[in-house]
Amino acid sequence: METNNLLFVGGLGIPELILLVFFGVVPFLLLLWALIDVLRSTFKNSTEKLVWAVVIIFVPVLGPLLYLLIGRSQKVRHPL
């Protein structure tokens, strides 16, 4: 019986790889997106920026979600 070695990475099958992407890669990308956004943005004071950065880093998954839902509206809008 021949097995397809491309389907297995480190002994993991397709379902395990899907779970790894869903619970590992997606939260990391969400954290990265939120952290880059908070660092590139201007807030009314630097304390808000620091608080959001700490929340994003130390509250996994929920921190980036809260920032993207609530914190982005606290940024200073620059007129074009």
- Rounded distance between C-alpha atoms, residue 68 and residue 60, angstroms: 13
Both tokens of residue 42?
Answer: 């201007």
Closest CA relative to residue 74, chosen from 54, 50, 53, 44: 44
Give tens-digit pLDDT for 46-73.
899 999 999 999 998 999 999 999 988 8
**Longest C-alpha distance within the chain, in Å?**
66
Range in 23-32, 33-42, 54-63, 69-78 the model is least confident about: 69-78
Both tokens of residue 46?
Answer: 């630097």
- Rounded distance between C-alpha atoms, residue 27 and residue 72, angstroms: 18
Q: Is residue 35 a contact partner of residue 68, using CB atoms and an 8 Å limit?
A: no
Share of the chain above pLDDT 70, in %: 85
pLDDT interval class at 9 (50, 70, 90)? low
**pTM confidence score:** 0.74
